[in-house]
Amino acid sequence: MIESYQDYMNRSEAAYKAEKEIIADKLKEGINGLEWLVLNTLVDERRSHSLKKWTESVIVRMCGKEPLELFMEAVHLDPTAFYDRYKLNWYVTFDEALTYLSLLRDRDYDRYFDVLQEFYKK
C-alpha cells in the first residue's frame, strides 16, 4: 500500500516530537539522563564519519571554540538559545555530542567519566 505524503509527514512529525520530549526529559535528570542517552546511542560508520566531518567544519567555522565546549553548551542550552549564541543547529550538535560520548565511553571509560563530570560542573 502506498502511503500519502501527508501520512508520512504526520508520522515523521510525531516521531520528531517524541524524540524531542525524550531528550528534554532525560536532560532534566542531569548526568544520569545524559548517560542513558549515551547508552542508547548506536554508533555506526555513518555516525563516526558524520562526527569527523562536523568536527572539521566547526573547528574552521568557530575559531577558538573546541567541539567539546560546544557539546557541553548543547547539554545546558535549549535549541533556540544555542542557535542564537553559536549559529549552529542544536539538534545536529547534540547528536554529534552523543556520538562523541558513546565512542569515548567505548574507547576510554576513565576519560568518559571525567568528561561527564565536567559537563555538570557548571
Within 62-108, residue ranges assigned H as helices are: 67-76, 79-86, 90-107
Cell numbers 545524559 correspond to 34
Query: How many of the other CB atoms lie within 10 Å of CB of 103?
Result: 17
pLDDT, position 16: 86
Domain count along the chain:
1
Q: Alpha-carbon distance 122 to 87, whole Å?
A: 22
For residue 50, pLDDT over 70 is answered with: yes
For residue 20, pLDDT over 60 is answered with: yes
Label residue 2 by pLDDT band (50, 70, 90): low
Please state, for a pLDDT cut of 70, what percent of the chain lies above it.
97
Closest C-alpha to 100, from 61, 54, 65: 54
The residue range of the domain holding 68 is: 5-119
**Average of pLDDT values for 2-29?**
87
Question: Is this prediction's pTM over 0.85?
Answer: yes
